[in-house]
């Protein structure tokens, strides 16, 4: 992938960011997460990743921040690494797969993990695990084009079904790719909530609006408009899918927001929402007139080096 952290690569990346008027990327290791059955392997991998990302952020603090990884499914070890990464390394949040070794992240086994995220008021960025939602029918070349948004959709449904956003309201959860197909299905979920929710539960649409969503949709204007209609522009943050999307398609990931939405909504999504969510204030760089506003990009996607 074109994100090795070398001087040459970083110069090219910063130039690409500057062309798009992007001030800062938030680095994420997902979907290459340190999930191993062996606890020691998971801990070793998680520490390696977090140390590498912290070093990159320290070298370029005005251009990068980073999410921490944890060695799930080992909850106790994950709580220890979370504390180290957030308290000592200064990570801005935690990243987690939409599933963990075949288990839903809403599985009761992860309750202590959610409790600690909630206690801290942590940002949690989710990302598809690249497992085709564990379906034998979503394999090979379909895993990312079809499987990833299905995993996004499924994780939102699991969070709603287990009332995670309600029971842990201080966790600021970001779902990528506009939440998969959730915006298209939200009315269906409301109408059929009696099938999967207790009678006293709020409507799925109300719970879904407690989450945040990134704007990665390969420049699909109708999809962005539908997500904004379903969740509200205040719940959307800019995403670029770097390093999977580079060059012109990276630029499109920023530009299509202003092309799709009224100026006030576009400005909120390109900058203000992320500023409020992450409580970051990167120094504004000087750009030429016209084009998209400066903002935070790559909030939801993998930068590897």
Model pLDDT for residues 97-111, shown as the tens digit of each residue: 999 999 999 999 999
Percent of the chain with pLDDT over 70: 92
Q: CATH second-level architecture of 7-297?
A: Alpha-Beta Barrel (3.20)
At a CB cut-off of 8 Å and minimum separation 6, what does 302 contact? 1, 3, 28, 29, 30, 31, 32, 127, 242, 243, 244
**Residue 298: predicted pLDDT:** 53
Task: Check whether 226 has a pLDDT greater than 80.
Answer: yes
pLDDT of residue 302: 42
Residues facing 212 on adjacent strands: 174
- Global pTM? 0.93
**Mean pLDDT calculated for residue range 63-73:** 97
pLDDT at 296 over 80: no
Question: Residue 265: which pLDDT band, with cuts at 50, 70 and 90?
Answer: very high
Quote the pLDDT of residue 279.
83
State the Cα torsion 171-282-55-303 to the nearest 10°: 70
- Is pLDDT at 301 greater than 90 in this prediction? no
Portion of the chain with pLDDT greater than 90, in percent: 89
pLDDT at residue 305 above 50? no
Report whether pLDDT(119) > 70. yes
197, pLDDT greater than 90: yes
Mean pLDDT (the chain, rounded): 93
Task: Find out whether the peptide bond into 31 is cis, omega within 30 degrees of 0.
Answer: yes
Give 300's pLDDT tier (boundaries 50, 70, 90).
very low
């Amino acid at each position: 992938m074109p994100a090795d952290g070398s001087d040459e690569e970083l110069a090219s990346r910063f130039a690409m960011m500057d062309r798009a008027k992007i001030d800062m990327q938030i680095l994420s290791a997902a979907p290459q997460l340190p999930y191993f059955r062996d606890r020691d392997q998971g801990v070793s991998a998680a520490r390696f990743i977090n140390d590498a990302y912290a070093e990159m952020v320290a070298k370029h603090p005005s251009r990068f921040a980073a999410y921490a990884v944890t060695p799930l499914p080992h909850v106790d070890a994950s709580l220890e690494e979370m504390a180290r990464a957030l308290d000592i390394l200064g990570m801005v949040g935690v990243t987690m797969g939409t599933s963990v070794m075949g288990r839903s992240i809403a599985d009761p086994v992860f309750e202590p993990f959610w409790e600690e995220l909630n206690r801290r008021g942590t940002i949690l960025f989710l990302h598809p695990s690249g497992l085709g939602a564990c379906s034998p029918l979503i394999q090979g070349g379909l895993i990312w084009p079809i499987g990833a948004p299905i995993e996004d959709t499924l994780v939102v449904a699991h969070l709603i079904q287990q009332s995670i956003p309600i029971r842990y309201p201080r966790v600021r959860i970001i779902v990528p790719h506009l939440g998969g197909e959730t915006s298209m299905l939200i009315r269906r979920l409301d109408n059929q909530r009696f099938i999967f929710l207790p009678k006293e539960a709020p409507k799925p649409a109300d719970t879904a609006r407690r989450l945040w969503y990134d704007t990665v949709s390969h420049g699909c204007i109708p999809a962005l408009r539908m997500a904004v209609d379903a969740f509200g522009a205040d719940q959307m943050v800019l995403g670029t899918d770097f390093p999977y999307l580079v060059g012109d398609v990276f630029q499109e990931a920023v530009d299509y927001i202003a092309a799709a939405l009224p100026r006030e909504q576009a400005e909120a999504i390109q900058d203000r929402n992320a500023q409020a969510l992450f409580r970051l204030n990167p120094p504004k760089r000087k750009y030429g007139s016209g084009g998209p506003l400066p903002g935070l990009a790559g909030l939801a996607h993998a930068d590897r080096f």
